[in-house]
Amino acid sequence: MASTRGEFSSRFGFVMAAAGSAVGLGNIWGFPTQAASNGGAAFLLVYLILAFTLAYPALMAELIIGRHAHANAVNALRLISTGPATHKIGTTVGVIGFIVAGMILSFYAIVAGWMISFCLASLAEFFGMQAVADWLTSFGMTRNLFFMLIFLVLTVGIISEGVREGIERWSARLMPLLLVSLILLVLYVCTLDGAMEGLKVYLLPDFERALSPKLIIAALGSAFFSLSLGVGTMLIYGSYISDEENLPVVGGLVTTVDIMIAVIAGFLVLPAMYVALHNGVEIFTASGALISEDTLIFTVLPELFATMGLAGIVVSFIFFFLMSIAALTSSISMLEVPVAYTIEEHGLSRKTAVYGIGCAIAVFSATILVNFETLFGLVIAFTTRYSQPILGFMFCVYAGWVWQRDKVLKEVQKGSPQVEHTLFWKIWPWYVKLVCPVVILAIFAQSLWGG
Chain residues binding ligand TRP by CB under 6 A are: 21-22, 24-27, 104, 225-226, 228, 231, 233, 330, 333-334
> Can you spell out the DSSP letters for 172-219?
HHHHHHHHHHHHHHHHHHTTSTTHHHHHHHHHS--HHHHT-HHHHHHH
Q: What share of the chain is helix, strand, coil (3-state, %, to 5)?
A: 80, 0, 15
- Distance between CA 190 and CA 263 in Å, rounded? 15
How many other CB atoms are found less than 10 A from the CB of residue 286?
6
In the complex, minimum distance from the CB of residue 179 to ligand TRP, in angstroms, rounded to a whole number: 15
In the complex, minimum distance from the CB of residue 264 to ligand TRP, in angstroms, rounded to a whole number: 14
Beta carbon nearer to ligand TRP, 22 or 152: 22
- CA-angle at 335, arms to 235 and 121, nearest 5°: 130
Beta carbon nearer to ligand TRP, 8 or 274: 8
Beta carbon nearer to ligand TRP, 274 or 319: 319
Beta carbon nearer to ligand TRP, 16 or 412: 16
In the complex, minimum distance from the CB of residue 250 to ligand TRP, in angstroms, rounded to a whole number: 17
Beta carbon nearer to ligand TRP, 59 or 362: 59
In the complex, minimum distance from the CB of residue 330 to ligand TRP, in angstroms, rounded to a whole number: 4
Beta carbon nearer to ligand TRP, 75 or 333: 333
In the complex, minimum distance from the CB of residue 416 to ligand TRP, in angstroms, rounded to a whole number: 26
How many other CB atoms are found less than 10 A from the CB of residue 334?
28
The burial of 386, by beta-carbon neighbours within 10 Å (0-12 exposed, 13-18 middle, 19 or more buried), is given as middle
- Distance between CA 246 and CA 261 in Å, rounded? 23
The greatest distance separating any two alpha carbons of the chain, rounded to the nearest whole angstrom, comes to: 67
In the complex, minimum distance from the CB of residue 339 to ligand TRP, in angstroms, rounded to a whole number: 14
